[in-house]
Amino acid sequence: MSQSKAPHSKESLLASRVGELVANDFRTAHLFSQHGIDFCCGGGISLERAIKRFDADETSVIDTLMALETQGEKLQGLEQLPLPDLLNYIESTHHTFVREKAPLLVEYSQKMVRAHGENHAEIKPLAGWIHALVEDLMPHLMKEEQILFPAILGLHNQVEMQNCFGHIGNPINAMQYEHDDALQIFEKISELTNGFTPPAHACTTWRVCYASLAEFEADLKQHIYLENNILFPKALALTA
């Protein structure tokens, strides 16, 4: 794990890359999601540029980031974890989260269809997209846990393993493609929910569903960022 660093100044935060801030402290991912700042594909630009690009409130973003540095223990230095520990972290944290929360999203959306589907045109399509997301993610987790992650661990341990996919880059490319699919589905969900903002007349289930979707999106983006930008490059480097 990396050693703790001195708190950032406003200037150093603005100059830092968004992806670097997320890698050093994953709590920032939820903040960036709340402000519409892309840290997955757009993580290579400075925070200052990202704030301008996504029309975020600079004062709110900076104040919250500086406050995070004084609150609790950071999930920092994940890029320094040995591969076995990183794989375990992804499974125990993000895969477990998906398996726990995804069925609840389906349950909430189905309740909304039964209660409000005939009177609110967005609810049935929303339930359909949530179902599509879960149907995509569940086999995705299994493919990672049963095929890709064991292969990466084998490379790390220098153990020759029998596989049907050839170079490790092939399943990595497939997983990245599926990551893109999941993010595109969430774009549809965000559009249908007005950025996970329930209408004034929304019932409790409706509000809980939207709040859970926002939480799920933040975790999924952390999950994808961690795999695309830290895990997969580490795995590919073993074949160089």
Q: For the chain, what is the mean pLDDT?
A: 87
Side-chain half-sphere of 193: how many Cα atoms within 13 Å? Answer: 27
- What's the predicted TM-score (pTM) here? 0.74
Q: Average pLDDT of 213-220? A: 91
Q: In whole angstroms, what is the distance from residue 189 CA to residue 183 CA?
A: 10
CA 25 vs. chain centroid, Å, equals 13
What DSSP designation does 6 have?
Answer: P
Tokens describing residue 191:
């559009």
Q: Average pLDDT of 18-40? A: 78
Q: Average pLDDT of 99-114? A: 94
pLDDT-based confidence at residue 44 (cuts at 50, 70, 90): confident
Q: In whole angstroms, what is the distance from residue 1 CA to residue 19 CA?
A: 18
Best CA proximity match to 86, nearest among 144, 168, 139: 144
